[in-house]
């Protein structure tokens, strides 16, 4: 069911799967409970590349051959989803641990994988389809402990899928964001942030096309009921996109590896990875070409990094780039929970370290709320933050720094060594690293964290940790 011999493993590096996953995500977001959780707690709009990398890592762990890794990842996902519950805009409860909702998420990926093959002219035969379905039911069993939330056979699956589409899916806010906002405003991945004009020019063309292709691929009854407009020629465009992606099967084996592509896109430009230096040289050449693009495409100029030390954060800029993780214009608990979630994922924390980290961020949220929430609405606006002292660094934030150091210092020697540093920041020590013994002392670590999180300094390792897309 798992490992290199599975059907899922073959799909994982299939370029068509990118289209299928976007389609599956839209179908997930159209479920009222999933849509509400995404709007309230997800960072997929403001940090899409970070979310993509984390999702791919999770899928690899769950579908890999190592049972112990799969069990640990399932436990981590369950702890994560246990923290996601609330009510939507219509006061309907949602819970990310709802078994029926979790089954629907798995169902959308299976159905979109089957649809992907059909639309690209390579429909799955019955035996292969049944094997793939068994793998997804095994995934649900590993995650939830009960594969029975999905029908037992492929034949029974299709009536189930049609019923959910017809009776439960809605035109949710999260679905509209994915279709009409996410790709039109997709921030550049870290590696391409030095080419803003060329990225904006490409995004202006590709973004709307992805939306059109995705809408055209959705089940026709749902498109009608949700009032999703379909442009003339959309079906032809959609089928052409799937067929073109399917031609990638003729490329040499190993040329397109999902993991390698994702790592490359999320590679920080100042990383010590040799690939970053190679692509840095390529970017210099592309910047020259960018001068020509500016003459042809009427886009507003955007600032480009010149390698010099950047000025301190402005309060509004720090609020938007760092504190407002969900991008809704406010800071509340989901934003700080997203920070804790990212750190816990990078360090692959188990209990009780993960709970210690979340508790520390929860304490910081209470401190921020008490100090900055002047209108008592339970959240902090950009105006409230800018009007207060943006260098706030009280006891709760100090506690966050101390806990972060503790969970990073895995060997407990009160210093962060090169291996521990890379696990958190995904890059090696900088040349200007404090200390002379090749480690990061507790005092320096805490001081740098407080300086960054209070908005006093930038261009630190924490920029890509919390601010990058």
User: How does DSSP assign 55-85, residue by residue?
Assistant: HHHHHHHHHSS-HHHHHHHHHHHHHHHHT-E
Question: What is the tens place of the pLDDT at every residue in 167-218?
Answer: 999 999 999 999 988 887 888 777 676 667 777 888 888 888 899 999 999 9
- Give the pairing of strands 85-87 and 93-95: antiparallel
Domain segments of the chain: what residues?
Answer: 7-248, 315-467
Task: Classify residue 397 as exposed, middle or buried by CB count within 10 Å of its CB (0-12, 13-18, 19+).
Answer: buried
Most confidently modeled range among 309-313, 321-325, 429-433: 321-325
Q: Assign residue 302 a region (left: φ > 0; alpha: ψ between -120 and 50; beta: otherwise).
A: beta
- At 283 the pLDDT is 58
Q: Among 19-28, 240-249, 316-325, 454-463, which stretch is predicted with the lowest mean pLDDT?
A: 454-463
Task: Identify the CA nearest to 339 among candidates 316, 318, 362.
Answer: 362
Identify the CATH class of 315-467: mainly alpha
- At 205 the pLDDT is 84
Q: What is the dihedral of CA 213, 214, 220, 223, to 10 degrees?
A: -110
Residue 306 pLDDT greater than 50, yes or no: no
Answer for the pair 362, 333: CB distance below 8 angstroms, yes or no. Answer: yes
- At 469 the pLDDT is 72
- At 303 the pLDDT is 45
Give residue for tokens 């839209």: 26
CA 2 to chain CA centroid, Å, is 24
Question: What is the tens place of the pLDDT at every residue in 227-258?
Answer: 998 788 899 999 899 888 878 767 666 555 66
* Local structure of residue 188 (DSSP, 8 states): P
Question: What is the tens place of the pLDDT at every residue in 48-70?
Answer: 888 888 888 888 888 888 999 99
Residue 223 pLDDT greater than 60, yes or no: yes
On average, the pLDDT of the chain sits at 84
């Amino acid at each position: 069911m798992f490992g290199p011999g599975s059907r899922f493993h073959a799909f994982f590096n299939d370029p068509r799967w990118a289209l299928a996953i976007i389609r599956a995500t839209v179908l997930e977001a159209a479920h009222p409970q999933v849509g509400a959780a995404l709007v309230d707690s997800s960072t997929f709009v403001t940090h899409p590349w970070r979310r993509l990398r984390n999702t791919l890592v999770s899928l690899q762990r769950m579908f890999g051959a190592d049972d112990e890794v799969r069990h640990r990842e399932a436990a981590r996902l369950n702890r994560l989803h246990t923290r996601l519950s609330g009510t939507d805009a219509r006061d309907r409860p949602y819970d990310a641990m709802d078994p029926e909702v979790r089954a629907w998420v798995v169902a959308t990926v299976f159905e979109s994988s089957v649809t992907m093959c059909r639309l690209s002219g390579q429909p799955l035969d019955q035996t292969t389809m049944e094997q793939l379905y068994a793998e997804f039911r095994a995934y649900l069993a590993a995650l939830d402990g009960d594969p029975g939330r999905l029908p037992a056979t492929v034949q029974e699956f299709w009536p189930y899928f049609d019923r959910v589409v017809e009776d439960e899916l809605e035109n949710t806010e999260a679905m509209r964001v994915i279709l009409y906002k996410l790709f039109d405003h997709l921030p550049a991945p870290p590696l391409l942030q030095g080419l803003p004009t060329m990225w904006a020019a490409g995004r202006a063309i590709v973004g709307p096309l992805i939306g059109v292709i995705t809408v055209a691929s959705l089940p026709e009854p749902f498109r009608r009921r949700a009032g999703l407009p379909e442009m003339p020629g959309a079906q032809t465009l959609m089928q052409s996109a799937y067929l073109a992606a399917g031609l990638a099967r003729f490329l040499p084996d190993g040329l397109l590896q999902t993991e390698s592509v994702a790592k490359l896109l999320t590679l920080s430009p100042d990383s010590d990875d040799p690939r970053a230096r190679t692509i840095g040289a390529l970017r210099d050449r592309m910047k020259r070409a960018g001068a020509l693009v500016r003459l042809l495409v009427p886009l507003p100029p955007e600032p480009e990094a010149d390698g010099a030390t950047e000025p301190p954060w402005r309060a509004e800029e720090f609020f938007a780039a760092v504190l407002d993780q969900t991008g809704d214009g406010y800071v509340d608990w989901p934003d700080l929970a997203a920070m804790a979630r990212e750190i816990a994922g990078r360090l692959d924390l188990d209990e009780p370290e993960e709970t210690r980290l979340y508790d520390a961020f929860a304490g910081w949220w209470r401190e921020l709320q008490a100090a900055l929430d002047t209108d008592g609405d339970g959240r902090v606006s950009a105006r409230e933050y800018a009007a207060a002292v943006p260098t706030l660094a009280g006891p709760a934030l100090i506690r966050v720094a101390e806990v972060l150091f503790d969970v990073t210092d895995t060997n407990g020697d009160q210093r962060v060594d090169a291996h521990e540093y890379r696990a958190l920041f995904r890059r090696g020590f900088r040349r200007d690293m404090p200390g002379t013994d090749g480690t990061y002392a507790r005092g320096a670590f805490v001081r740098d964290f407080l300086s960054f999180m209070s908005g006093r300094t930038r261009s630190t390792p924490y920029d890509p940790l919390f601010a990058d897309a």
